[in-house]
Homo-oligomer: A and B are copies of this chain.
Amino acid sequence: MSHPGRGILTIVSGFAGSGKGTVMKKLTEKYDDLALSVSATSRAPRPGEEEGVSYFFKTREQFEEMIRADEFLEYAEYVGNYYGTPKDFVFKKMDEGYDVILEIELQGAMLIKKKYPESLLIFLTPPDAAELYGRLKGRGTETDEVIKRRMQRAAEEALCIKDYDYLVINDNIDDCVERVRGIIRSAHHSTAHETGMIDRMIKELNELTGGL
């Protein structure tokens, strides 16, 4: 990663109905070396939302000033409000040794991968399309029209799964949490992450053999 942080930046996306939120919650509850990224937004806080925990709340003017100062890993505007991932928070946590997890949709994930190729992209999915449909129906909170749109969106998103590094099936929440955890742990040993160690080893071997 161009940023020298010791932690791994992991980006998790998934279909609506993949159970992303629950997996993220369990992961960060179980492993205290994992930290969830906190987004900034220009929308007003809702009752119970806490500054720096739910979101970093900003005015539109503050948010636009941050955009100009290149302070976001990625940002987007939805129905009149800005949402974005502040670099500062993520890099600080990584410097402290945390592996930082960003739950973010496909377009944002692709933007970050482009800027930071060593970030780890994981896509979550239920075991099959019927299960996805069943979960969306089972919520009982959305109209058939909304469910249809979500399924169409899933069909489009599926075409981009190959651009992620890993595909993890969420058939059982505990297994899924362990798979994601294992993938992040393994990434610490990738040669892309271990460039410092490799450079040190080359230097040491040259010095030592020079003296033999």
Interface on A for B, CB 8 Å cutoff?
123, 125, 128-130, 132-133, 144, 147-148, 151-152, 154-155, 158-159, 161-169, 179, 182-183, 185-186, 189-191, 194-195, 197-198, 200-202, 204-209, 212
Contacts and interface: CB of A to CB of B under 8 A. Distances in A.
A190 B208 contact: no
8 contacts: A128-B201, A128-B204, A151-B208, A161-B198, A164-B191, A167-B189, A179-B189, A182-B185
A144 B205 CA distance: 16
Given A130-B208, A198-B161, A198-B162, A167 B191 contact: yes
B129 A201 contact: yes
Given A182-B186, A191-B167, A201 B158 contact: yes
Chain A interface main SS type: helix
B165 A191 contact: yes
Given A158-B198, A161-B201, A189-B179, A208 B129 contact: yes
A126 to B, nearest CB: 9
A208 B126 CA distance: 15
A117 to B, nearest CB: 14
A182 B111 CA distance: 29
A209 B147 CA distance: 10
B189 A186 contact: no
Contacts of A162: 191, 195, 198
Given A128-B201, A183-B189, A189-B179, A155 B194 contact: no
